[in-house]
């Protein structure tokens, strides 16, 4: 069955009508689809009768010195991937269709959006939540699927749905990695061969930390790997390594028991990468 492409809101309504009813799953993306996105689509197909994938590079979640203009845009390849994975509708609106020119109101991520990743990307999560809520309103899915790789984003979307009584179930899909351990990301294509060698320190640091049980030891083990990578050529330029509560993203300390998220962000060459791992703390 062919994929229906909806380029604006009117076309989206027609595309949804053509589905003929049934449970709808939404997979929001910014395009440049890779195996990680495909895994989310497969999960969505398990959870619903029809899958809608949105492809929209959202300007609201990029800072003034970030990579909005060069973010990879590969729509033809994305459409082919969606067809292979059984997606029924691809919603690919323009920025003009998503945002009024005199837009005044947006979602605030609150305190939770200003810590960890949010401390390094002010306003980023406000932009994420705003576009996600708009997509929920436009697509009206029963369930939406997001990747665990963006763990703070996933936690904030769950919080938004709870706080604003949004009638959408949220499902998280596991991080997909390359055989060498590098988490799949649309930005990986920016990495040179030398960059990639350095970037592998992120997943190594997470594995090193996961071998410990006490928060201070987890962070110490991860930091040791990252410190070593800072001396490579090119160096790893660390933004943060943090051990946080998966629901609130507040730091956990010695004495905490349960699951925590070990999160890291760093720049290699011109590319900023994030990664995380859920670890058991005892």
Residue 109: name the closest of 28, 168, 171, 163 by CA.
163
The number of residues in the chain equals 282
User: Does 106 appear as a known binding residue?
Assistant: no
User: Does 208 appear as a known binding residue?
Assistant: no
User: Does 152 appear as a known binding residue?
Assistant: no
User: Does 223 appear as a known binding residue?
Assistant: no
- Catalytic (active site) residue 124: no
User: Does 37 appear as a known binding residue?
Assistant: yes
User: Does 121 appear as a known binding residue?
Assistant: no
What is the DSSP pairing of strand 271-281 with strand 258-268?
antiparallel
Q: What are the DSSP E strand ranges found in 76-139?
A: 89-91
User: Does 185 appear as a known binding residue?
Assistant: yes
Catalytic residue among 4, 28, 29, 37: 37
User: Does 176 appear as a known binding residue?
Assistant: yes
User: Does 147 appear as a known binding residue?
Assistant: yes
What single string gives the DSSP state of each residue in 183-239? BP-GGGGG--HHHHHHHHHHHHHHHHHHT--SHHHHHHHHHHHHHHHTTSSSPEEEE
User: Does 149 appear as a known binding residue?
Assistant: yes
Residue 28: name the closest of 9, 44, 14 by CA.
44
Q: Helix or strand or coil: residue 151?
A: helix
CB 275 within 8 A of CB 183: yes
User: Does 186 appear as a known binding residue?
Assistant: yes
CA distance linking residue 170 with residue 148, whole number of Å: 12
Binding site members for (R)-pantoate: 61, 153
Q: Which residues are catalytic?
A: 37
Numbered residues of the known binding site for beta-alanine: 61
Residue stretches of the annotated binding site for ATP: 30-37, 147-150, 176, 184-187
Query: From the annotation, which residues make up the binding site?
Result: 30-37, 61, 147-150, 153, 176, 184-187
């Amino acid at each position: 069955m062919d994929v229906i492409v909806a380029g604006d809101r009117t076309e989206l309504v027609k595309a949804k009508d053509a589905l003929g009813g049934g449970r709808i799953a939404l997979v929001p993306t910014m395009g440049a689809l890779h195996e990680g996105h495909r895994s989310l689509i497969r999960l969505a197909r398990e959870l619903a009768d029809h899958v809608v994938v949105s492809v929209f590079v959202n300007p609201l979640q990029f800072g003034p010195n970030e990579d909005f203009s060069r973010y990879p845009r590969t729509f033809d390849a994305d459409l082919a991937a969606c067809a292979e994975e059984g997606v029924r509708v691809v919603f690919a609106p323009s920025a003009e269709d998503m945002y009024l020119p005199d837009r005044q109101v947006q979602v605030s991520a609150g305190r939770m959006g200003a810590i960890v990743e949010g401390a390094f990307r002010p306003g980023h999560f406000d932009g994420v939540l705003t576009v996600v809520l708009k997509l929920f309103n436009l697509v009206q899915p029963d369930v939406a699927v997001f990747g665990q790789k963006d763990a703070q984003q996933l936690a904030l979307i769950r919080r938004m749905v709870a706080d604003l009584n949004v009638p959408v179930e949220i499902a998280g899909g596991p991080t997909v990695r390359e055989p060498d351990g590098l988490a799949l990301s649309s930005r990986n294509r920016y990495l040179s061969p030398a960059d990639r060698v350095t970037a592998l320190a992120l997943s190594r640091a997470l594995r090193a930390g996961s071998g410990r049980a006490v928060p201070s030891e987890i962070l110490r083990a991860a930091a040791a790997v990252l410190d070593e990578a800072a001396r490579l050529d090119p160096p790893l330029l660390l933004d943060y390594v943090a051990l946080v509560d998966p629901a609130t993203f507040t730091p956990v300390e010695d004495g905490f028991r349960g699951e925590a998220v070990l999160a890291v962000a760093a720049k290699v060459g011109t590319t900023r990468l994030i990664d995380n791992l859920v670890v058991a703390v005892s």
